[in-house]
Amino acid sequence: MTKSEKNDEKKNFSEDNDFSKEKDEIKKSPDNKKDESEEEKFKEVQEKLLRTMAEMENQRRRSEKEKDEAFEYGGFNFAKETLSLLDNIDRAIISFKNDENLKNNKDLNKIIDAINIIKDDLISIFKKNGIESIECINKKFDPNFHQAMLEVENNTKEPGIVIQEIQKGYMMKNRLLRPSLVGVTKKTAKNADKK
């Protein structure tokens, strides 16, 4: 091998080395960075799209639930206001029965019967719409359904039992429309200072 051939070989080898250096530089080149940044941007956009789709699905579910609740409980406030009619009918019946002037009237029972028919119709309408009274007498006091108005000393029953209903409570399907106003038992305080 002549000197010139050796030089050519060295030159080719150094050119090959230069080519591998160029490859490395290409990897680090701005064009390649663009590829990486485009991939990152694509992933970002994809992630945002997935989040947006999830938010839209949640919004759809929320609006569907609100629509169902509006349909089911749309008359909630109206029903709550109408309960006062039922209370006033009960008060009217008690008032008529306790009025001394009306007690001697032969038509008192007819009046009370007519009022009771109206009351029964109103209760029937309530039941058709899922409104029912809360039964509370002789049951354990439950703050979710009852509102204690007074405590009554009583040793015959355990403490916390409802023994008096001041105002009826009502439920609309599975929601509390109005709590029962009640009197609850408590133990009699023992007087230890007897002389």
Domain regions of the chain by residue span = 7-69, 75-129, 132-190
Where residue 195 falls among pLDDT bands split at 50, 70, 90? Answer: very low
Q: Is the pLDDT of residue 67 over 70?
A: yes
**pTM higher than the cut 0.95:** no
DSSP state of 183: E
Task: Give residue-wise pLDDT tens across range 78-92.
Answer: 888 889 999 999 999
The edge-to-edge listing of strands for the beta sheet with 162-167 is 146-153, 180-186, 162-167
Task: Give residue-wise pLDDT tens across range 4-26.
Answer: 565 565 555 555 555 455 545 54
The average pLDDT across 140-146 equals 91
Q: Is the pLDDT of residue 193 over 80?
A: no
Fold of 132-190: Nucleotide Exchange Factor Grpe; Chain A, domain 2 (2.30.22)
Which are the contacts of 164, defined by CB distance < 8 A and separation ≥ 6? Answer: 137, 150, 152, 182, 183
